[in-house]
């Protein structure tokens, strides 16, 4: 059996709206293809973590309080995380995890929480409660050159700017900023997004994009995941798209 290794960072603190379910979905969809997904955790104070040993690094979402607590620990891991990023490890980051990998996050009190600085974007919390981004959201992303509607739930006051390569175009909802036209950040080996839900349970092709990338990197050749019966997921997606008019 082939094996992939995922590092779940701060699972005891970054788990808004069922974000840990993304790891469960990846594990299930790997298992259906005869792939074992070995899950490890990185918690505050873990000094021996070698991020380069993992195929996937995952961060879920958290509120301002949690981000402030773990920010220093995250920055202390910067060199190893940067090495893993440069080596092609896949990064999947949701909401607070998305913000923490940028330059900084400034909360509504004006306090600046340093980010890892892995990417150029930064986030400033809006002081206008009317500009909070909350509700169902649908974006159009490009996965291996194909358009795919990605659906999730957003709830963030942070306004993320200087995003050079968005995850997708907003079809319904807000996105990186209030009434924005784009959402998230994406590179070949990175998906960073505000979409909770959990993201992967609602979007099977996003899961398979991650699996395909990681297996292709491991095998040294293009890996195409065997089809899975996703009728239930697709029926649910269809209902939500009709409800949201997209």
**What is the rounded average pLDDT of the residues 93-117?**
92
95 is catalytic: yes
Strands of the sheet with 56-59, listed across from one edge: 35-42, 2-9, 56-59, 90-94, 190-193, 185-187
Please determine, for residue 1, whether its predicted confidence score (pLDDT) is greater than 80: no
Q: Is 243 assigned a ligand-binding role in the annotation?
A: no
pLDDT class for 187, splitting at 50, 70, 90? very high
Catalytic one among 8, 30, 42, 95? 95
- pLDDT tens sequence across 80-94: 999 999 999 999 999
Q: Find tokens 């961060």 and name the residue.
A: 59
Q: Is 196 a catalytic residue?
A: yes
Between residues 62 and 209, the one the model is more confident about: 209
What is the mean predicted confidence (pLDDT) over 162-188? Answer: 97
What's the average model confidence in pLDDT over 143-157?
Answer: 96
| Identified catalytic residue from 8, 42, 156, 196 | 196
* CA separation for the pair 124, 99 (Å, rounded): 10
Domains of the chain are 2-244 (3.40.50.880)
pTM > 0.85: yes or no: yes
Least confident of 38-42, 89-93, 105-109, 217-221: 105-109
């Amino acid at each position: 059996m082939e094996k992939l290794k995922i590092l779940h960072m701060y699972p005891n603190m970054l788990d808004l709206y069922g974000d840990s379910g993304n790891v469960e979905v990846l594990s299930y969809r790997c298992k259906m293809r005869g792939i074992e997904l070995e899950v490890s955790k990185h918690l505050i104070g873990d000094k021996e973590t070698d991020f380069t040993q993992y195929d996937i690094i995952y961060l879920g979402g958290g509120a301002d309080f949690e981000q402030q607590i773990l920010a220093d620990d995250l920055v202390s891991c910067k060199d190893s995380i940067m090495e893993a990023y440069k080596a092609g490890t896949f990064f999947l980051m949701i909401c607070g995890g998305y913000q923490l990998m940028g330059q900084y996050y400034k909360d509504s009190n004006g306090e600046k929480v340093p980010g890892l600085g892995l990417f150029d974007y930064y986030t400033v919390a809006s002081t206008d409660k009317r500009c909070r981004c909350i509700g169902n959201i649908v974006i159009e992303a490009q996965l291996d050159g194909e358009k795919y509607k990605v659906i999730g739930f957003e709830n963030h006051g942070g306004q993320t700017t200087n995003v050079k390569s968005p995850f997708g175009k907003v079809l319904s909802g807000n996105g990186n900023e209030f009434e924005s036209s784009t959402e998230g950040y994406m590179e070949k080996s990175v998906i960073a997004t505000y979409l909770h839900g959990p993201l992967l349970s609602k979007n099977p092709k996003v899961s398979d994009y991650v699996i395909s990338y990681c297996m292709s990197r491991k095998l040294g050749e293009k890996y195409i995941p065997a089809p899975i019966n996703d009728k239930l997921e697709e029926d649910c997606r269809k209902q939500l798209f009709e409800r949201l008019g997209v």
